[in-house]
Amino acid sequence: MIHNLTPLQLDAIREVGNIGAGHAATVLSQLLNQKVSMSVPEVNILPLAEACDVVGGPEQPMVGVYLRVFGGAPSKILYLFPEDKALFLAGLLINDQEKCRNLLGELEVSALKEIGNILTGAYVYAFSNFTGIDMLSSVPALAFDMVGAIINTVLADLGEMGDYALIIKTQLSACDESVDGHFFLVPDPGSLATILAALGVKDGCQKRSGSECPN
């Protein structure tokens, strides 16, 4: 079903992504006391074989913070930050750049996970309010590695259902791009129908009285 979504359905998905990411960006902005800008979410539907290239070269080292979302529409959430930006971000959170030098240090890992936690909380809250679907996020997990390997691990179980991944991708940046990262929402295959139904676009077009569905 993923690769025959109608333009209206794609728009609806993008809009939920927009609302969720908007809240997450607001929270990040409050957390850092900095202006945070956000791209319009992109809905990518990719064959699994190409999904690792979604943020560019798969061998680029990046920090990934990964969370599962449980409830009515199980999904995965992944934040990706280039290594220097991740360190800077951790430094901003604990308000001491000098202390954040080692990406795999306990303090840095903890700070980055907490950022993932807070952003996800905001995202899931907004998403849940908008769609009426109950959602709850797991504790965060962190990896620092080649970005292809991170994405490949996160997406592996999608393979059970099909050959495509639907990824809602948003870019966040702050402090003149000293903070710059990607934010992914990947609904589990079964969740897509739930989300579309909650948005009233299950059949590919919104039913309003007096208006016909264009086919």
Would you tell me which residues interact with another protein (CB under 8 A)?
47-52, 57-59, 61, 64, 66, 68, 138-139, 141-157, 159-163
**Residue number, 27 or 103, with CB nearest to another protein:** 103
Please, are residues 75 and 186 in contact by the beta-carbon 8 Å criterion?
yes
**Residue number, 41 or 116, with CB nearest to another protein:** 116
33 vs 31: CA distance, rounded Å: 6
- The phi and psi torsions of 65 (rounded to 5 degrees) equal -115, 125
**Residue number, 44 or 153, with CB nearest to another protein:** 153
Q: How far is the CB of 1 from another protein (least distance, A)?
A: 11
**Residue number, 161 or 193, with CB nearest to another protein:** 161
Q: How far is the CB of 148 from another protein (least distance, A)?
A: 2
22 vs 39: CA distance, rounded Å: 10
The SS3 of residue 72 is coil
**Residue number, 138 or 173, with CB nearest to another protein:** 138
Angle at 58 between CA 172 and CA 149, to 5 degrees: 95
Q: How far is the CB of 51 from another protein (least distance, A)?
A: 7
Q: How far is the CB of 22 from another protein (least distance, A)?
A: 27
**Residue number, 38 or 103, with CB nearest to another protein:** 103
DSSP assignments along 1-32, one per residue: -GGG--HHHHHHHHHHHHHHHHHHHHHHHHHH
Q: How far is the CB of 116 from another protein (least distance, A)?
A: 12
- The phi and psi torsions of 190 (rounded to 5 degrees) equal -70, -20
Can you read off the two tokens belonging to residue 203? Answer: 């059949």
Closest by Cα among 134, 133, 141 to 63 = 141
58 vs 35: CA distance, rounded Å: 29
177 vs 30: CA distance, rounded Å: 17
Q: How far is the CB of 64 from another protein (least distance, A)?
A: 8
